[in-house]
């Protein structure tokens, strides 16, 4: 069985995709960028500010899927600049204390020219 996750507490999709899908207890969340859900605007600031907003958005999607950060088994992180790796990690490690598997890459450009994007795969709570 497959279900779609949608919450107003995280940014609406800016394209033809959903916030997340759940298949057999596995949550596959779309990449989150630092959009403030209440305003639809990008969180203004450096990588630390933007990463914090991304983590909040990820958390809201996990919550809507009956999960938490501790249930994440894999993350994929995209950075606009690898020079931001250390500052991004400082934010990331506050949320993903269980140290899920991870990939982190720098890319040429992210949607809306943000500094970071994170997608996750999690396991729903029983």
Provide the annotated active-site residues.
104
Question: What is the C-alpha separation between 77 and 37, in angstroms, rounded?
Answer: 20
* Gap between the Cα atoms of 27 and 43, Å rounded: 26
Q: DSSP secondary structure string, 109-126?
A: --GGG-SEEEEEEEE---
**What residues have CB less than 8 Å from 47, skipping those under 6 apart?**
79, 81, 84, 87, 88, 91, 115, 116
The three-class DSSP label of residue 69 is helix
């Amino acid at each position: 069985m497959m279900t779609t996750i949608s919450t107003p507490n995280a940014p609406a999709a800016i394209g033809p995709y959903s916030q997340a899908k759940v298949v057999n207890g596995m949550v596959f969340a779309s990449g989150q960028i630092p959009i403030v859900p209440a305003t639809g605007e990008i969180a203004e600031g450096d990588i630390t500010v933007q990463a914090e907003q991304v983590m909040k958005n990820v958390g809201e999607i996990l919550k809507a899927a009956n999960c938490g950060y501790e249930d994440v088994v894999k993350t994929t992180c995209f950075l606009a600049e690898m020079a931001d790796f250390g500052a991004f990690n400082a934010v990331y490690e506050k949320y993903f204390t269980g140290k899920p598997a991870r990939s982190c890459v720098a890319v040429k450009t992210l949607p809306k020219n943000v500094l970071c994007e994170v997608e996750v795969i999690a396991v729903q709570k029983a």
